[in-house]
Amino acid sequence: MRVLNVAEKPSVAKSVASILSGNQNLRMREGRSRYNKIYEFNYSINGLPCHMLVTSVTGHLMELEFEDRFRKWHACDPALLFTAPVRKVVPQDKLDIKRTLEEVARGCQWLVLWLDCDREGENIAFEVIEVCTAVNRQLTLRRARFSALIERDIHDAVQNLVNPNKCFADAVDARQEIDLRIGASFTRFQTMLLRDAFVIESATNDRNLVLSYGPCQFPTLGFVVERYWEIQSHEPEEFWTINCSHRSDEGVATFNWMRGHFFDYACAVIIYEMCVEEPTANVTKVRQQEKLKYAPAPLNTIQLEKRASIYFRMSSEHTMKVAEELYQAGFISYPRTETDSFSERTNLHAIVQEQQGHPGWGSYAQRLLDPASGLWRNPRNGGHDDKAHPPIHPTKFSSGESGWSQDHHRLYELVVRHFLACVSQPAVGAETTVEIDIAGELFFASGRVIVAKNYLDVYRFESWGGSLLPTYEVGQQFVPTTLTLDSGVTRPPPLLSEADLLSCMDKEGIGTDATMHDHIKKLLDRFYATKDSSMRFSPTNLGEALVMGYDDMGYKLWKPYLRAVMERDMKAVSEGAKSKAEVLETCLQQMKACFLDARLNKVKLFEAMAVFFERSNRSGGDEQHASGEFIRRCGLCQEADMVLRQNRDGNFMVGCLGFPQCRNVVWLPGSVSEAAVTTNVCNSCTPGPVYLIQFTFRRLEIPPDYNANHLGCVGGCDETLRQLTEICGTGSRLSARGRGGPAMPNNVQRSNTRQGACIYCHQTGHSSGNCPSQSSGPRSSRPQSMNVQSAGQVSISCSACGAPCALRTANTTSNRGRKFYSCQSQACNFFVWEDSINNGNRGRGFQRVNVSASASNPSRSVGHGRGGRGAVDAAGVTFVSATGDPISGRRCFVCGDPSHFANACPNRGI
């Protein structure tokens, strides 16, 4: 029977093949990949003769990615990445490995998976299964479980094959998809929003800077920033304490004040003076007891990383790299494990026996195995068991290999000494505590002497310091040698060390034992944090600014709580308590809500970044992309999405994210003050979906018969939106934004082909919101008085002559039925709309000025700017009447009103 064996790395495949074949009749040939060899030999599995073929992958064979149209950053709204289709594909650089597996699998009956026995290894195993079963569906699938590359474990694993664990693989699939969707959406959002908006010192002139976000990476950064903020906000406070010492023939004893310290100086002085006045000390208690210092629990990954950081100043990332190399060479067990308890089946004595010949700790190993020494003690239970691997322990004796670096020697020594320590008796000490009374104030001193060092003899990394006290007896009296009132100052906590950071991550459930070091490394790679020579972390300006921005939003995206819940859910998937689909839906819904909220509050990120960085003069186009909300698929390029965006002048539009390759755009009315995409879908426009937009228009810039709130569609079916676009135009809305400035000439405004004719005057060159017939004149032209008559009608007086104005009705197509006031005197050209008065904007009419030039002269200009409508010099202004007709000095011959002609006179026929 032909059996295909697949290991996770080429070195593991070589070790497995060498152990199983005993290096007898072992043949090697090349595969498609020059790094992944194929080893062949004969072997017997449970009495069944087999022809074994052993090859390998190099970590994950597949990658999870979005479908092509979602992979380009500007091709879609980042919010869509929470639901966009994803797929697992074999990357280009691993196609040769895939071809090797396919070729070998076709002629085999069994597939035995020798991947690392954790969740990640199980996921890789199912990637191999997918590739191999695609070409040979008759394969029998088996899993080899092992924890060390030694003969005992490898032979035992192949004779006791089990089934692959789909739950483990599903848990990794869930994590990969969650991390991909959350990381990609937030990374694109904050990178496109901030990269070009600020000059970031870590990437000067670097347009390829990526401001990455990771659901584990950011809470890790949060720990660093939070400790830094604690230090920055600390205010030193002075305190006082009383210290006492006594010198005798046996030595010096230092006594500490039971109260600790006082922050109130007056109280401390009073108590100190009492002690000085009655300085005789009375010994009130002498307590002697045996103290034990227990050996550490068996070694797991987190403890390995922490202790290597403390003892050798090795980074967690480098520690895992060295540990992996020692494991692949067969010297230690699998280094990625949460377990800190040995099972009863583990032969601990055999492990110790292998170390008897070492010059450094061999004699201690011999004492451990000697029953007469009484040094042996079964290791204590640490309380963690991942059900996959034992604690980290030595698997092969070495007194130092020639190719080892200093760190290889150090880490191997730590693993061996730790194992020997955890099967040893605790250290024994005799501790003495003496309490004395001085004028009613209690003081104490402690001393310790080590009776039996036991495990401390081999575990040189720890000590159990103490001092021996002079002999005291209860009732003894003495006068202190010194009695002082000393002051001190409170100090902030120190910056987080790497061991501290690992402890925080472990406590809050951020990452796993196999990934924590990666998250820490990313902080340094992304320049979010730095690490000093003392292995302590400080946030950079960039890291602090990002955390500050999200913190100001109110969402604790930098806190560990959300990720801790995800990690618990993924563990539940690995245990079969929850399904992958259930966890994906819950986590992604929650994080999408966070994302949408963060995007609405993106100004907080800008404000935080502005604290640390100068604004850039580079194009802010990416900012527009980052703020877009998905409307529909672009019908022009058929690749990117159309999104709602707002430019720097405040105008809204729906544009294609494929810009500049695709320039498809839908310009929205210039009178829009607010616009937000809803979840409602248009039932008419195809292809769908086309999401509806909730518009809010500026009331004074649209005709009175239109609603200021409108739920509209940009797909082409919305007649109201089309009319308002024609009426209001889509050009610059400087006056609407309150940005004063020089008026644009009419000929420039008319050059905008998207701008329709004004609904009031039917002329181009301005929108209805800027129509002179609707603009307020200078303060002197506003009505001087307004009286409410008994009948409830409003009486308006002309600002020029003071005469009462007549109420008239417009009869043009655009303003038919709209009422206005105008002066009856032919010498005055005053008028005001009645609805302007009713809306509280009384006097927004203007004083008409007779001009000699024709109203159709295109060289005339209209004033713009808030509070400046109609306030320009009359000689440079062309006005139109309230009915929309140009003023040319002529009046209605029926009633004499200059605001209309006789054919539109409301009094005609009376």
Please give the pLDDT value at position 760. 44
- Residue 642 token pair: 């159309």
One DSSP character per residue, 805-841 reads: PEEEE--STTTTT-EEEE-SSTT--BEEEHHHHHTT-
Please give the pLDDT value at position 563. 87
Task: Mark whether 334 is an active-site residue.
Answer: yes
Please give the pLDDT value at position 572. 93
Please give the pLDDT value at position 830. 65
Q: Which residues of the chain have pLDDT under 50?
A: 204-205, 619-627, 732-760, 762, 767-769, 773-793, 840-890
> Reading across the β-sheet that carries 672-681, which strands appear in turn?
672-681, 691-697, 709-712
Please give the pLDDT value at position 44. 94
- The three state secondary structure string of 47-78 is CEEEEEEEEECCCCCCEEEECHHHHCHHHCCH
Please give the pLDDT value at position 827. 58
**Residues of 757-781 as b/e, b for ≥16 C-beta within 10 angstroms?**
bbbbbebbbbbbbbbbbbbbbeeeb
Are the C-beta atoms of residues 441 and 483 closer than 8 Å to each other?
A: no
Domains and their CATH numbers in the chain: 2-164 (3.40.50.140), 174-202+209-234+495-611 (1.10.460.10), 238-294+429-489 (2.70.20.10), 301-425 (1.10.290.10), 630-728 (no CATH), 805-834 (no CATH)
Q: Which of 43, 213, 327, 334 is catalytic?
A: 334
Q: Compute the half-sphere exposure of residue 94: CA atoms within 13 Å on the CB side of its CA.
A: 16
One DSSP character per residue, 250-283 reads: TEEEEEEETT--BS-HHHHHHHHHHHHHS--EEE
Helix, strand or coil for residue 740?
Answer: coil
Please give the pLDDT value at position 769. 45
- Residue 25 token pair: 């009749």
Closest CA to 151 of 15, 47, 11: 15
